[in-house]
Structure 1
């Protein structure tokens, strides 16, 4: 698949309702958009194996145990503690080959397997760390894909929330801490992580591509185009930055004057 073909697939994914959003296919398209002409079969083989194994386990185990055991024990998916900043940790094709990655990338395989095996699971956009919410007969539980899919107890959720800077009256509310997000938002979270890492590393081309993917996946959000503009400006592509700002303004409407200020600043640099 070429980068252009991947971009077309992402653009199409941005037009469908959340119920029709194909998480695994779109995550693979994101990976190929970043680095084209790669073999996507390892990711698909892993996803197929996960779905088949989970379907077997769910017959005799609870949904949370079955999901965690399938992904972490049977298929050896886990967080990358030794090379946490490795760019491959955000790429689902690399993750499938290495069986290591960040929580947001590992969650793609958890969520895909859960959908296909009939386990009700959703992403949780927890501060600083992506988690999963799995519905069980005893109520929802939080799983951490980075830590072998272990259950995160409510007290631990509160502790993590306080460390992340949430106020105590928010950190005590499990309904807020475990609020689910759509598969689309889960994938956008992964692109946000990639953008932040690329900016810190000074890889502004990679940052631009990740921001473009966010813009395509959620065409009603103007903010990704602001990040595209920032990444292009860092590369000296001022006309491209102006185009991105114009796109942001077109999506946001006239109620965002900051875009006009930024456009005037870039025009002055061009003159």
Structure 2
């Protein structure tokens, strides 16, 4: 698959309703867009194997236990403690090859495999650490895909929220702490992580690619185009940066912010 073909897939995914969002295929397209011409079939093969194993486990195990045992034990998918900042940790092709990744990337497999086996599984954009929410007979359970699918108890959720800076009256509300996000937002979080790290590392082409993916996944949001403009400007591509700002302005962005940036770049071009 080429980068252009990946952009076509992401653009199509960006136009569908959240309920029909193709999480696994969109995640594969994100990976290919960043590094084209790789074989993504192992990702699909492992996912299919995970569905088969999970269905077998669900005959005798609780839904949350079966899911974590399938993903963390059978498929050996866990967090990467040694190379936490490695971009490969957000790339689902690399994650399957290494069996290591960040929480949001691992969550793609928890969500996809769980749903294909009939479970209600959703992502939780918890402050500082992505979690997975699984519906059980006793109610929703939060599990941490980075830590071998360990169940995160309500008291620990509150402690984590307080450490992340949430106020006590918010940190005590499990309905807020465990609020699910869409599959689209799961992938967008991964691209946000890549953008921030690439900007900090001075890898502005990689930053631009991650911002473009966000723009494709969320076509009505002007903010990714502002990040595209920033990344292009840092590369010296001022005309391209202006084009990105024009895209943001076309999406009814905050006119003052875009207008100021547009004028500044125009002055640099002149």
Q: C-alpha deviations, 1:92-134, integer Å up to 9, x for none?
A: 0000000000000011111110110001010001111110111
Question: Matches of residues 101-250 of structure 1 in structure 2 within 5 Å?
Answer: 101-250=101-250
- Paired with 2:74 and 2:195, the residues of 1 have a C-alpha distance of 31
Q: Structure 1: which 5+ residue stretches go unaligned? A: none
Q: Specify the SS of the correspondent of 2:122.
A: strand
Secondary structure in structure 1 of the residue aligned to 2:165:
coil
Question: Which segments of 5 or more consecutive residues in structure 2 lack a partner in the other structure?
Answer: none
The separation in 1 between residues aligned to 2:127 and 2:194, in whole angstroms, is 16
Aligned match of 2:3: 3
Q: Give 2:60's aligned residue.
A: 60
Does 1:76 find its partner at 2:71? no
Asked if residue 256 in structure 1 is aligned to residue 259 in structure 2, the reply is no
Q: Distance in 2 between matches of 1:164 and 1:146?
A: 17
CA distance in structure 2 between the aligned counterparts of 1:265 and 1:219, rounded to whole angstroms = 25
Q: Deviations over 1:123-180 (max 9, x none)?
A: 0011111101111111111010000000001111111111111111111111001000
Give the TM-score of the pair, scaled to structure 2.
0.98
What secondary structure, in the 3-state scheme, does the structure 1 residue paired with 2:15 have?
Answer: coil
Q: Secondary structure at the match of 2:132?
A: strand
Number of the residue aligned with 2:267: 268
Q: What value does the CA root-mean-square deviation take over the aligned residues?
A: 0.8
Distance 1:160 1:72 in 2: 22
**Offset of residue 256 of structure 1:** 2.7
Q: How far did residue 207 of structure 1 move?
A: 0.7
Aligned to 1:129, what secondary structure does the other structure show?
coil
Partner Cα separation in structure 1 for residue 255 and residue 127 of structure 2:
27
| Partner Cα distance (1:135, 1:63) in 2 | 8
> Structure 1 runs of 4+ off > 4 angstroms?
none
Task: Indicate the SS of the match to 1:140.
Answer: strand
Deviation, 1:196, is 1.2
Partners of 2:157 and 2:255 lie apart in 1 by 36
Deviation, 1:252, is 2.3
Q: Encode CA deviations 1:229-256: one digit per residue, 9 max, x unaligned.
A: 1111111111111111111111125x43
